[in-house]
Amino acid sequence: MDATIKDIARIVKVSYATVSRALNNKHGVKPETRKRILEEARRLNYRPNAIARGLVKKQTHSIGLVIPDITNPFYPEVARGVEDAAQEVGYSVFLCNTNWEKDRELRYIELLTSKRVDGLIIAPVSETTETLQRFLRSVPVVYVSTTSVADHESYVTIDNIKGGYLATELLIRTGKTPVAFIGSEEDSHTLQERLEGYKQALKDYHQPVDERYVRYGNFKRETGSRFIKKMVLEGVKPKGVFGENDLLAIGIIQGAKEIGLAIPEDLAVVGFDDIPLASFPEISLTTIAQPKYEMGRYAVEILLKRIGLEDTGSFPRQRLILEPNLVRRNSA
């Protein structure tokens, strides 16, 4: 059994309060008494009870990180940035993977708030869920890789509109028209912003906006493969495709090759994220790069500022929008 303050107090023959003051380096303890208490604490290998201290101080020095898909290489990079930044200031991180399930997301948020985490960083499954917003009102929150529908919430994201524009513009300027768009769920802000960039580029270059070339599924690689095959089977034959993320784009490449299309001669493909797989020679995906690791670090910095202002009731919204970068490889 772990040693407690009571054990130290009993051995040194002082009050619990005296032991607590000595361990927390507070005034009111004689030097010789403090020395004996610290020596006994070391001998007993005493470790503070973080939960108990958190209840007293109303802080647990822990934050929750809720992401939708740990198998998508984008999110582990974000998580690494979060963990590194948190560790540097003595915070622990509880990582929860929702697998794109809204009910699981709500359960994790309820669990984390019940554990009294000091704040949450979340890449939500759906930003429009009222139940989600109700849960998040009780704790400081920073959204990562997406904006927030709540006016008071902070977020760190990329300029998705510009990124979508750059991806589509490249395909148009290299003659790969018509250009298709394959994305995830329609209620995602991220999708809507990248789709807006796609459509704006088409309009600026006097290309038709044809909804037959726009498909919605999920962020999985299999979705990209399935949709490109389905489009070709229906007689909708794009020359270029913008995949909302790299996994979709890699799936598009795979599906296109399976039906005999050459990349990029018959079909040029651009993704979004620049995950490590994108640079593999056999894939060589042209993509829009995001500073994933930096996103995680920035999210922690903003969250800690919000936690520090909790007692004042002042939660100034911070919106950090990072610049996308086009990385040209062999797929387009």
What phi-psi label fits residue 178: left (phi over 0), alpha (psi between -120 and 50 degrees) or beta?
beta
**CA 33, chain centre distance (Å):** 49
The DSSP H or E segment spanning 54 is helix 50-57
The pLDDT value recorded for residue 327 is 97
Q: Which pLDDT belongs to residue 296?
A: 95
Q: How many Cβ atoms are within 10 Å of 262's Cβ, its own excluded?
A: 9
pTM: 0.77
What pLDDT digit, counting tens, does each position of 242-254 carry?
A: 999 999 999 999 9
Q: For the chain, how big is the Rg over CA atoms in Å?
A: 25
CA dist 322 and 15 (Å) reads 54
Q: Looking at residue 152, what is its pLDDT?
A: 67
Domains of the chain: 5-48 (1.10.260.40), 61-159+292-323 (3.40.50.2300), 160-289 (3.40.50.2300)
Cβ pair 273, 74 in contact under 8 A: yes
- The predicted-structure confidence for 147-194, as pLDDT tens digits, reads as follows 765 566 789 999 999 999 999 999 999 999 999 999 987 667 888 999
Please state whether the peptide bond connecting residue 264 to the residue before it is cis, i.e. omega within 30 degrees of 0. yes
Low-confidence ranges of the chain (pLDDT < 50): 51, 55, 311-312
Distance separating alpha carbons of residues 260 and 269, to the nearest angstrom: 15
